[in-house]
Structure formats: C-alpha cells, structure tokens
Amino acid sequence: MTRIVVTGAAGFIGSNIIKGLNARGLDDIIAVDDLTQGDKFRNLAELKISDYVDAGAFYALFAHGAYGQIEAVFHEGACSDTMESNGKYMMDNNYTTSLDLFHACQKRGARLLYASSAATYGGSDTFREDPTFERPLNVYGYSKLLFDQRMRRDCGNDFRRSVAGKTGQVVGFRYFNVYGPHEQHKGRMASVAFHQFNQFQAEGKVKLFGDYGGYAAGEQKRDFVFIDDVVAVNLWFFDHPGVSGIFNLGTGRAQPFNDVASSVVNALRGLQGQSALGLDALVEAGLIEYIPFPDALRGKYQSYTQADLSALRATGCDQPFADVQTGVSNYVQWLARQA
C-alpha cells in the first residue's frame, strides 16, 4: 500500500490535498501538524488518515525511519504570515525544517513535493522561475526563496531534467493567491474572497482599495487560483515521478479585485434569488465601496501578479484553471452552506 505524508495537514492546502488523495482511494496518510490552534481539527475531521503526528516530533522520527517506507511527502507545513517580522522563527520553520526534511527524504527514498510561494518574486514585475526576477519584500518570501535556491544547488540548477536518478523527485510549487474551502483558520492571511464574503454578510457591502500604483479603484490585479486546481496540479506531479523542478502554480491570468468582489456579491445575490449586477450597478447600489489606499501599505503592496506558466506547461501538465467568476462562485456557495 502507498504510504504518504502530508505536513501542514490540518491547514488550508494540506487538508485539501488529503481530500484529493482520499478521492483516489488513498488513505494510508500520515497527517503532520501542530494543533495548538485546536479549531484546525475541523479540516481533518471528515478525512481518512492512518495516523496523526505532532510536527514537533515528526521530523526527527521520520529521519530515523520510524514510519517505514514512504512514497511521497507533500510538505505544506510552514509559517505563511507575510507580516511576521521574527526572522529567526521564520527561517527555523520555513528553511531549516524544510532542509532537514529534504535530507531525510533523500535518505529514506521518499519523493518531496513542497510549497514555495509567489512571494519569492516580491517587487518584481515578471513572474518567471528565474533568479533574475526573484526579489522578496519580506522575510517570509526570503525563507521560501532560500529553500528554492538550496534545491537548485543540491539538485542541479536545471534539476527539471537532471534530478531523475540523482536525488529522486523534488518539486516546488510557487503558489499565487490561492482561495477556497478550509482556510477559515488563517485569520488575516485568509483569501480576499473569504474576507469579502464575511464583510458582505456583516456590513452588506464589500470594501476595496481606491486608486493606487497607476491602477484605478479596485483594478489592482492578482493571479487568483482556486484550491481544487492547486490540488489537481500537485496530484499530476505525484502521478509523474520523473518530473522535478520549481514551478509557478497560478492561473496565468491576472484579474482585478473588482472581479472578486463582483463575483462574491453576485453569488450571494443569486442565493437570495436576485439577479446579477454589473460592476457599475454594484457600486451605484452601495454594494461595493472604495476606500483610500492605506499609507501603511504604500511601497509594500503588489498591485499586479500573474504567473508565467511556460515551465509548468512544458512538463505536459495541461490542467485547466478556473477563472475568478467560476471559482469564487463555487467557493461562496460552499461558505454559505457552512454558515
């Protein structure tokens, strides 16, 4: 039987990966996490796993072979708070722990599929997996970039091809703006769609930033990617053990925050039997409101992100990605059912 490890298992992406594995009939899964924030158990409650191990104990035990033969490790465990300023804590969690895990995977013959981040690009205006464009703006982005750099060094700069037979499969996914079910525990780091859903429920309107960075009100753009598509790409690489490398995981399509807000509001209107409205009508009705751009974010805010999918597509991965209107509508319906 195939035994798999998922770190960050009770988190947003980790729990959805387990759900995707379960859908394939795979349930010999060791879930690794830190449940100090106890409510995260809800993300695991309906999933099938074979064991749960606290993150504080797992890594050393795994390195010494405590869990037998492991086929693959989906490494989603990390500190993902981009506002965290404790660099020692961030580097211990995101770099040192990941490096120790990599070495253990090599020793144990396990494949490693890990979470990197689009934060590695930071202040760049080009989002391609090339050191030229990697300019992190915070220690979170740097912690992810340093591990990517170490993988390039240890596996070969072009380990997309050379890694096979040398170090075993190693894949890093540079996640863009992921949204979808099971992110409710993330607080301020939850997606725009999640916050807008709750804001509309509480206030009857969604607030967006006004004009900034050369973009009109609400027209700042991000690459928003639905969690189901993120899981599908992870599983595609799981199915193709000969493919390694660092890859962007976004839609390749930047969409404005106005699109997210319109999709949230119109999905909620649809649940009430009301017709969809265009952006201008939503603004005129006071359902979308623009507020001044915060001074605290000036110079620290990405007004545009869009994943370059050339490297991903070159592997043969042809996973289609939902646009904001489709993905957010599905997500809002899920959120409404939970409420």
Known catalytic residues? Answer: 140, 186
Work out the widest C-alpha separation in the chain, in whole angstroms. Answer: 63
Which among 142, 318, 320, 311 has a CA at the least distance from the CA of 239? 318
Distance of alpha carbon 239 from alpha carbon 221, whole angstroms: 33
Task: Please state the separation of Cα 69 from the chain's center in Å.
Answer: 27
Distance of alpha carbon 138 from alpha carbon 135, whole angstroms: 9
Distance of alpha carbon 7 from alpha carbon 77, whole angstroms: 5
> In which residue are the tokens 């340093």 written?
146
Distance of alpha carbon 52 from alpha carbon 49, whole angstroms: 8
Beta pairing class for 177-179 and 255-256: unpaired
Question: What are the C-alpha distances in Å from 307 to residues 176, 220, 254?
Answer: 7, 15, 8
Distance of alpha carbon 34 from alpha carbon 15, whole angstroms: 13
Dihedral Cα 83, 89, 92, 93, nearest 10 deg: -50
